[in-house]
Structure 1
């Protein structure tokens, strides 16, 4: 019992989720990155302006009478004029002596010291406000080693305003583009899965008995393997249905005669004027007809099982010599009843090269049908060669079963030979058809034995060959050889 059932999801929704989720997750990250980039871009021109002011102030510092003096030019007086930001400056020497500007000015740390003339930038706080500071060390007199520190600071209002304008210019279009992109993705997916809906409609409109392959031309390339798998399933299903239909037709055809005979014999036995001898004869005929009907049904079931096996049958290693010897041993009573000398020659169980991969039940059915076919069509032969003389039983019929192997070439042979009437060349291609029986034979059978053999051999990748044995001067005999490949070429 399943307590948790997997929720069935739409392919459309699945793809849409996987496309939009990363987009919606990355969009805020993109905004944050845009903010950082905008801050950096907005800071550059103001940093250059601060550097220019530091350099300009550094040029105006003079050493007079061993005293540092700052004489501001008229244009430098505009340094503090700013309607948005507050601007601060300071000039002091290395001993911390104030020269000009704001007295409360954060001094650079030892790590922030630089070579004379090199302008540096740092962040700081003045009067409770964040500021950007540019500073440098200058020599006011070429002939003196005395240094002076010039610092200029500016609050960040204009920088923030410029960064906000940049972000607005970048973000506002995204609020229009993102919904439009989502809409376009939705429309593209809807159009992309339209062939799947068309394929669904074609399948739904099919008739129940239509087993023809589905046309994969309208299916997307990604769905083509699925369509191919469905076509393969339809092909196997069609074969199975055809096998069932053929089985029913064959069964109805083959059982018609014995069932009609049973009814006729029963009617004869029920006649009022039937004697005891007639009743005994009718019962004997009924017994024969029932045996024939049972044999026919068993053969039909064997053929249907062989035809319906295919790739679904589990395979395992099999010792063909051992399997064949077991079948021959089981067939001895039948051979003795028919006065047939039945024997086995060839490989013994466990010998090298006698193993193959197959289905034991089907291979056992193959061997049994070959042996039964040879026994049924081989009658005892008198020395004179006449069948009438054979009734006296001077010379029994001979059926020999052999299993031979060539381990080097990977070939395993199952051969059944007899000294019966043989199979003419004209009939050798016909005897493998269901219900075909050679002309001029009075042996019991349904004509399905060799059809079963051929089908099982085909299921195992083997071939069946028919030759004459010339075992008796009067009759050519037949040699049926099943050739198995025990390894790939």
Structure 2
């Protein structure tokens, strides 16, 4: 027979402590998500980082693009000036007697170069390389097939270790037989660079003023945007410690509404936990009054001048009373644990093996009471999803109740029935039974059927119902259906959802019985 062994669990934090810590974490972190940012991380700083860091990274790129565009803009007017200079130079080329020569007028010479400006250069030569006039040091394009006559071309080159910009054109004189002539003018790049720098300064310098203002405006806007979070924090800090009422979600922006909803859910769970703790303290104080008073009375009687027989009786009463108080405290603690069992781990449990194991634990006590305790169940596993410790306590309370109310010579049976989608646990007895009108009330705390003459705390079935609810199971009381007509008895039936084995998903039903149990 399979055994289920459990290691003693380490003592966990109380539910109230856990929920209080969770509430503190959510309020401090300002988020309800599963992955939290560090506690001291600034949300405003995070947003500013993601907004401003790309801005400062793109700013150098903007400067570089502005420089390239500025150079292109600066080339346009100066290239146009070079083209006009070429036209003036072309007007100085004449053809006489079939020979091409250059006849520079004083006005043309002043236009091409003045004493105040030595940054303009020019050169005229024919297609054979014969120079007709100009600066012989001026570099020329490679002589080859002339370009289309009249088309102005541009190129960059160097002269005397400084950069120049050249414009050149091939001109064909109108006289028949005249050879093509290459006209070239050039100027240094100083004026162009100066203009480009002026353009860049006109664009970049205002950015040094606009950019800090933009950062301040972004910071101000974000500060105003996260103001509702600060208001929420202030409202939470201003609350009284006992105020667990939900926050107004309508007063929060839609972006932080999920956070407010999570806080409200946490407050509701915390309120339920505190109420359960208060109820536990009230129940414990109320129920322990009687046994403690009895213990004190018996102790006072034992301290008086009494006969040995009277002292022995008082000591026996003390032992009985202490056992009753211990059982009451244990049941109260078990009920409190069952009420706060939401966080307990759920796993696959073999209900048949668990029931058989727990029934065997009660065999010695049943034999002392003269009661026949038996177990009936299938030979196969009956897997359910649950917590083995809680289900074992549920079984122990049902078996304990059945043994208490069954007279000597009676029968108590723990029975497991396996259905296709349900697993049924039954504990039936041959006791006096429970009237139909009281079968719901016996699940209330501290309620006991009068006239039974059986000692108890009235918590056993309340614990059973609490554990059943934690497993989404249904528990009910019916007459014992396995007795002959006219016989009395009670059957407590617990119905749980059955886990289907992997083979069931392959074969359709896994070979399980094709019926469920109500």
Q: Is the 8 Å Cα contact of residues 98 and 177 (structure 2) preserved in structure 1?
A: no
1:151-166 equivalence runs, <5 A: 151-166=184-199
Using the alignment, how far apart are the partners of 1:463 and 1:111 within structure 2? 103
User: How many angstroms does 1:227 deviate by?
Assistant: 3.7
- The 3-state SS of whatever aligns with 1:431 is helix
1:313 aligns with 2:325: no
The higher relative CO (CA closer than 8 Å, separation ≥ 6) is in: 2
Q: Which residue of 1 aligns with 2:508?
A: none
Match 2:423 to one of 362, 387, 412: 412
Q: Is the 8 Å Cα contact of residues 123 and 135 (structure 2) preserved in structure 1?
A: yes
Using the alignment, how far apart are the partners of 1:365 and 1:201 within structure 2? 46
Provide the TM-score with structure 2 as the length reference: 0.80
Change (3 A) 1:331 1:183: same
1:481 aligns with 2:493: yes
Q: Is the 8 Å Cα contact of residues 100 and 179 (structure 2) preserved in structure 1?
A: no
Q: Which residue of 2 aligns with 1:258?
A: 291
Provide the TM-score with structure 1 as the length reference: 0.84
1:44 aligns with 2:72: no
User: How many angstroms does 1:139 deviate by?
Assistant: 2.9
User: How many angstroms does 1:338 deviate by?
Assistant: 2.6
Q: Is the 8 Å Cα contact of residues 127 and 143 (structure 2) preserved in structure 1?
A: no
Q: Is the 8 Å Cα contact of residues 85 and 157 (structure 1) preserved in structure 2?
A: no
Deviates more, 1:144-153 or 1:449-458: 144-153
1:83-482 equivalence runs, <5 A: 86-109=119-142, 114-141=147-174, 146-272=179-305, 274-310=306-342, 312-348=343-379, 351-352=380-381, 354-380=382-408, 396-406=409-419, 408-409=420-421, 411-470=422-481, 471-482=483-494
Q: Is the 8 Å Cα contact of residues 136 and 151 (structure 1) preserved in structure 2?
A: yes
Q: Which residue of 1 aligns with 2:102?
A: 70
Structure 1, unpaired ranges of 5+:
1-5, 381-395
> CA offsets per residue over residues 242-297 of structure 1, 9 Å max, x none?
2222222111211211222223333444444x445444443333333222222211
Q: Which residue of 2 aligns with 1:392?
A: none
> CA offsets per residue over residues 287-315 of structure 1, 9 Å max, x none?
332222222112111111111221x2122
1:24-35 equivalence runs, <5 A: 24-35=56-67
Q: Is the 8 Å Cα contact of residues 199 and 218 (structure 1) preserved in structure 2?
A: no
> CA offsets per residue over residues 163-182 of structure 1, 9 Å max, x none?
23323432343233222212
User: How many angstroms does 1:194 deviate by?
Assistant: 2.2
Q: Which residue of 2 aligns with 1:53?
A: 85
RMSD between aligned alpha carbons? 3.0
- The 3-state SS of whatever aligns with 1:238 is helix
Deviates more, 1:199-208 or 1:125-134: 125-134
Aligned residues: 462
